[in-house]
Amino acid sequence: MIISEPKPLKEVVGNLEGKNRIFIVACGGCPLGCKSGGQERIDELSKGLSASGKAVTGSCEIEFLCNKALVGAQLNYYLPALKASDAVLVVSCGIGVQATAAMVDIPVSPANNTVSAQGMQGLWPGEERCGGCGDCLLDKTGGICPITMCAKSLINGQCGGAHEGKCEVHPERDCGWHLIYERLKSLGQLDKLKEIPPLRDHRKQDVPGEERRTTRWALERDEIFEAPKAEATGTEGKS
């Protein structure tokens, strides 16, 4: 399971500045397990967006947003609402946001931050990857992650070594920032490149000790967990 946590509503609304008609897409997989998704979260966001003067054109929950084929097929049922929208707000990990962005031709914005699990990826292996940086900025990069698509994880734009859209580290690989530029250009959002992103807080990429103490982690540390004993009922030995 990929762990995500809700972004503050103020940040969600701020990232949607200039976008007044919002369609909400939620993942019905991992976010349900960590209580950062589901219908309750959709209702919470709808209420917050409406209170901020934005119109919610519709919403849907798709079982696994990391499966682009499933996302594309399911969103077909909501084309009228999507065509009436200025942006899509995605309730998922960073992979789901990127997969959704690849399936629509309007801007996407993340409703959640993805908490680092130091290696977990989507259930459906695709080209999208999430670094679990804990501070998702996909709304600023056209739904393409600069942390994982750029070999240098640059967040302020292309380096000087890219050539003809290819990466200098891996010449056969597309430059992540070239892809971001082309996506923003197609969306009419090149002005996003003028925004200076905040410095990354790398502490958010670590996994706190208390969150490592799962059963598997306990086995690695040779710790023994015993099931609690059942309370006496006074009926022992009776049939």
- Span 128-149, pLDDT tens digits: 888 888 889 999 999 999 998 9
Q: Which range, of 101-110, 157-166, 180-189, 206-215, averages the lowest pLDDT?
A: 206-215
87 Cβ contact list (under 8 Å, min separation 6): 16, 19, 21, 22, 23, 106, 107, 108, 109
- Alpha carbons 154 and 175: distance in angstroms, whole number: 11
Q: Which domains does the chain show, CATH number per domain? A: 4-208 (3.40.50)
- Alpha carbons 130 and 203: distance in angstroms, whole number: 16
- Span 9-35, pLDDT tens digits: 999 999 999 999 999 999 999 898 888
- Alpha carbons 58 and 223: distance in angstroms, whole number: 48
Length of the chain: 239
Strand partners, 55: 21
User: Is 70 exceeded by the pLDDT of residue 118?
Assistant: no
* DSSP H stretches of helix in 84-189: 94-103, 146-149, 176-187
- Alpha carbons 139 and 235: distance in angstroms, whole number: 61
- Span 48-65, pLDDT tens digits: 999 999 999 999 999 999
Q: Are 56 and 46 in contact (CB under 8 A)?
A: yes
Q: If you average pLDDT over every residue of the chain, what do you get?
A: 86
User: Is 80 exceeded by the pLDDT of residue 205?
Assistant: no
Helix crossing, 68-75 with 94-103: angle to 10°? 50
